[in-house]
């Protein structure tokens, strides 16, 4: 039997909440959500290596343009996820590299997507089963949907994941205005916590325009409090809306990142270029939808 590869690399795609309805709050303080989630074809990159000469324990090294913003200590979610999956020395000698491209704490699921990519790499390396839903939720509410890494409807506190009808092609421009925004503060500023869920989903959408027309009947309930706390979020949304061809602009998650949807890659690319000229200090990235298997780990040559 051929030996398993000892090095794997996986994309940790940006998670985009196209809609996020807050539908209640449990007695333990956890908020209930009804959210439409997609994943972009860009994000962070996680690499796992092992082999002779590796130091005992787990190691994490950081690279990429956003690396200086990442806490490297043992509480990093990649290391927590690896410890949760490993058992009886199974994680000894493993070394992760996180190539960080997504802004930290930005509403794009970066930490959770990084952890999910690390778990996929570990499963590919060892053949072990991936953790179940309860174990993933103990790491974070976004872990189950980031492990799915496919267009999904996420409900409850993140434990209920359902596949979406086939989506038309989507091109996005992701923007982060570079302002700190606390998720806890955004939820604390939410005026209403018992809102209606998403409208009924159709069997599908024939094109991007009809999908965005349906999305206009949804919302992000966290957008208004986030914009009150951090006005640059509203400025980024308005800047996106003014770009040619933008069909919808909205905040993702609890912010501070926002997104615009476009019907084709050309309009998305030109919008990104115009926004960079308008606000050179913002983080701006054009993106498409993650293709099927786009987050699957790939074995690296020795």
Residue 4 buriedness (CB in 10 A; 0-12 / 13-18 / 19+):
exposed
55/64 Cα distance (integer angstroms)? 23
Q: Tell me whether residue 15 is one of the annotated catalytic residues.
A: yes
CA distances in angstroms from 41 to 150, 174, 290, listed in the order given: 11, 12, 4
User: What is the length of the chain?
Assistant: 302
293/216 Cα distance (integer angstroms)? 29
List the one residue out of 85, 107, 98 whose CA is nearest residue 178: 107
Are 33 and 154 in contact, with CB atoms under 8 Å apart?
yes
DSSP states along 127-166: -PPPP-HHHHHHH-TTHHHHHH-SSEEEEETTTEEEEPPP
Q: What share of the chain is helix, strand, coil (3-state, %, to 5)?
A: 30, 30, 40
- For residue 152, list its beta bridge partners: 37, 163
SS3 208: helix
CA distances in angstroms from 97 to 33, 66, 119, 273, listed in the order given: 32, 13, 13, 30
106/287 Cα distance (integer angstroms)? 16
Tokens of 169: 């092609």
Tokens of 8: 């794997």
Catalytic residue among 44, 50, 142, 221: 142
273/31 Cα distance (integer angstroms)? 37
Q: Which sequence positions are flagged as catalytic?
A: 15, 142
């Amino acid at each position: 039997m051929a030996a398993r590869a000892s090095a794997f690399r996986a994309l940790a795609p940006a998670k985009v909440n196209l809609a996020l309805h807050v539908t209640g709050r449990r007695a333990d303080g956890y908020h209930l959500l009804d959210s439409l989630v997609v994943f972009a074809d860009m994000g962070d990159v996680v690499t796992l290596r092992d082999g002779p000469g590796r130091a005992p324990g787990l190691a994490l090294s950081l690279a990429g343009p956003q690396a200086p913003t990442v806490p490297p200590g043992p509480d990093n979610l990649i290391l927590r996820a690896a410890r949760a999956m490993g058992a009886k020395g199974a994680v000894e000698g493993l070394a992760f590299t996180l190539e960080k491209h997504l802004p930290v704490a930005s509403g794009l699921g970066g930490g959770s997507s990084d952890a999910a990519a690390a778990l996929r790499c570990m499963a590919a390396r060892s053949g072990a089963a991936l953790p179940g839903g309860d174990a993933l939720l103990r790491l974070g509410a976004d872990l189950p949907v980031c492990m799915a890494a496919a267009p999904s409807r996420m409900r409850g506190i993140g434990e209920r994941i359902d596949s979406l009808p086939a989506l038309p092609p989507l091109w996005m421009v992701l923007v982060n205005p570079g302002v700190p925004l606390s998720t806890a503060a955004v939820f604390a500023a939410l005026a209403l916590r018992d809102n209606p869920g998403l409208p009924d989903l159709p069997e599908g959408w024939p094109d991007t325009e009809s999908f965005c027309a349906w999305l206009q009947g949804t919302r992000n309930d966290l957008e208004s409090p986030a914009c009150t706390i951090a006005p640059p979020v509203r400025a980024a949304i308005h800047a996106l809306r003014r770009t040619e061809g933008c069909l919808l602009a909205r905040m993702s998650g609890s912010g501070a990142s926002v997104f615009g949807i476009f019907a084709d890659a050309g309009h998305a690319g030109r919008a990104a270029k115009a926004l960079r000229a308008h606000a050179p200090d913002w983080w701006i990235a054009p993106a498409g939808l993650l293709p099927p298997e786009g987050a699957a780990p790939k074995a690296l040559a020795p």
